[in-house]
Amino acid sequence: MRHSEYKPGDLVIYTVTKQSPHPGPRARGIQPSEGGEDYAYVVDKFWMVLEVVSGDQLLLATRRGKRRTVLVTDPMLRKAGWWQRLRYRNRFPGRELLTENTPQGD
């Protein structure tokens, strides 16, 4: 997607690659390591676009308010479709994050 296709308030899904000895219930694509002590897997994260930053980057926020900057061209990033927005509505950040992020005028 081009940078102009994202705007503040858009809900996105970012697929994160993880590795641990105990994958959680939301882990998918689980692959054991050669030694069998760890597992590699992916987990979907449900974030909101706070700002489109120059240089084709997006400032994203988690439900708990953590921030992360990613490239628009990152293959792990995708816009949430209507079904994902409905199905995972409790896992996306609330719209109040947008008002917290905007500077207040005097």
Q: What is the pTM of this model?
A: 0.83
- For residue 49 the two structure tokens come to 């676009």
Name which residue leads in pLDDT, 7 or 54.
7
Residue ranges per domain, the chain?
Answer: 3-88
- Give CA separation, 41 vs 11, 12, 44, 46, in Å: 23, 20, 10, 17
The predicted structure's pLDDT at residue 55: 66
In which element (H, E) is residue 98 found? helix 96-101
The predicted structure's pLDDT at residue 95: 79
* CATH number at 3-88: 2.30.30
What does the alpha-carbon distance between residue 10 and residue 21 come to, in Å, rounded to a whole number?
Answer: 34
